[in-house]
Amino acid sequence: MVIKQVINNNIAISLDSQGDEIILIGKGLAFNKKKGDEVDTQKVEKRFYLEDQGLYSKFKKLLQEVSIEEINISDDIIGLAKRRLKKELNESIYISLPDHISLAVTRTRDGLNVKNGLLWEIKKLYKEEYLVAKEAVQMINERFKVELGEDEAGFIAFHFVNAQLNSGMNTVTKITQFIKEILNIITYQLNISVDEDSLTGFRFITHLKFFANRIFTQEENESSEDPFLYDVVKERYSQAFDITQKVKQHISNKYSYKISDMEATYLTIHIQRLLERKN
């Protein structure tokens, strides 16, 4: 294995057995090395290969801006998230997370602590991601000797959610705010709080997440309409249907999105489950 390009003393680009570029990272890996030199494989600590060429190009640029320690801990955290969440994460997180960690560590050392305005909602709506993010914050604090707090755990949890939904961070923020607004309407109308720990609450929150994702990513709902089911639900679950209409009006007014009859049907069924739990 030979060096194709030196990024810095600790990072070099080589080619794998298939002739594809691979990024090699390790302390002193490329020190005093140049193109064509043999790679000391004993010094290789991490290997990166991104299928998306656009992301790969961005990742190479990022390597010149963040430290090897920030790249390494990001990779460790991503590995932890994959194991804990048991979900595939979009390759974009290999760029967004080290970039964020680098900024967070710098901010904290400069005495700048940023509050997470959606922390409460993140804890409630993305519990598994938040628990992993808390472990991530502990890892960062120990490795960089800083004191990031729960606000930062909330921000990191966002990156995990973003990588699952394959949406931009701005979209994830909008989705979280959207869910908060719908829950407020439901809570007011039913005079109860939605228990996210219950199976019914979990199903409802999950439904809202993907519903919101469709709205903010302009994803088409491929479900076919069922007028008969809509009419049955409207008649049989009249109270839940009325609440759905209030939610529908709110979404129309604020987000200029027209809920289809099928989406209204599904939402009514979920609200009905909450009503049955209340009674």
* Cα 37 off chain centre by: 39
User: What is each CA distance from 147 to 152, 156, 163, 258, in whole angstroms?
Assistant: 10, 15, 25, 45
Q: Are 43 and 26 spatial neighbours (Cβ–Cβ below 8 Å)?
A: yes
Token reading at 4: 């194709």
pLDDT score of 243: 95
Is the pLDDT at 270 greater than 80? The verdict is yes
> What's the CATH number where 222 sits?
1.10.1790.10
pTM: 0.68
Answer yes or no: do 183 and 159 share one domain.
Answer: no
Is the pLDDT at 153 greater than 90? The verdict is yes
pLDDT band at 247 (very low <50, low <70, confident <90, very high): very high
Render pLDDT for 1-17 as a digit per residue (tens, 0 to 9).
888 888 888 888 888 77
DSSP 23: E
pLDDT score of 224: 54
Nearest to 211 by CA among 255, 267, 128, 273: 267
Render pLDDT for 170-185 as a digit per residue (tens, 0 to 9).
778 888 899 999 999 9
pLDDT score of 120: 81
Largest CA distance in the chain: 77
pLDDT score of 225: 66
Q: Are 43 and 29 spatial neighbours (Cβ–Cβ below 8 Å)?
A: yes
- Mean pLDDT along residues 50-75: 84
Q: What is the mean pLDDT of the chain?
A: 86
Q: Which of 135, 165, 195 is the last residue of a domain?
A: 165
3-class secondary structure, 37: coil
Overall number of domains in the chain: 3
Render pLDDT for 70-97 as a digit per residue (tens, 0 to 9).
998 999 999 999 999 998 888 888 888 9
Percent of the chain with pLDDT over 90: 33
What domain range is 132 assigned to?
51-165
pLDDT score of 154: 92
Is the pLDDT at 199 greater than 70? The verdict is no
Is the pLDDT at 221 greater than 80? The verdict is no
Nearest to 101 by CA among 52, 131, 141: 141
Q: Are 259 and 248 spatial neighbours (Cβ–Cβ below 8 Å)?
A: yes
Answer yes or no: do 179 and 154 share one domain.
Answer: no
Q: What is the spatial distance between Cα 60 and Cα 54, in angstroms, rounded to a whole number? A: 10
Answer yes or no: do 39 and 94 share one domain.
Answer: no
pLDDT band at 35 (very low <50, low <70, confident <90, very high): confident
Q: What is the spatial distance between Cα 232 and Cα 191, in angstroms, rounded to a whole number? A: 25
Answer yes or no: do 155 and 247 share one domain.
Answer: no
Token reading at 273: 């489950």
